[in-house]
Amino acid sequence: MKFSFGAAYEYQAIKFNDADLLPRVIYFTLLILIHHFILFILIIFDNSKAGMVVSNALSTGLFTLFLALTLTALFSRKEK
């Protein structure tokens, strides 16, 4: 979280709804890609198929990132 939100993380002053687009994208990307890599490593569990793990993790990760950002944009509250 410190990587994506910077100094605000140290003071625990992060309000995810108030965050700019870039920190949100970085945060979502890190969480989604780490999750997908672990998932496909456990599913395939074969060192000789590392290319398949990477390609599956990246393709599904990008699709999931697109969905997460779209749904966040659609359902986030706009405060004035």
List the chain domain ranges.
Answer: 2-75
- pLDDT for 27-64, tens place per residue? 889 999 999 999 999 998 888 888 999 999 999 999 99
Instruction: Tell me the average pLDDT across 11-17.
Output: 60
Is residue 24 predicted with pLDDT exceeding 70?
yes
Contact residues for 42 (Cβ-Cβ < 8 A; gap 6+): none
Q: Give the model's pLDDT for residue 1.
A: 54
Q: Give the model's pLDDT for residue 66.
A: 94
Burial state string for 20-31 with b = 16 or more CB within 10 A and e = fewer than 16: eeebbbebbbeb
Question: Rounded to whole angstroms, what are the CA distances from 41 to 33, 34, 46, 52, 54?
Answer: 12, 11, 8, 10, 9
Q: Give the model's pLDDT for residue 40.
A: 92
Using a cut of 0.85, tell me whether the model's pTM lies above it: no
Task: Identify the sign of the CA torsion 13, 17, 18, 21.
Answer: positive
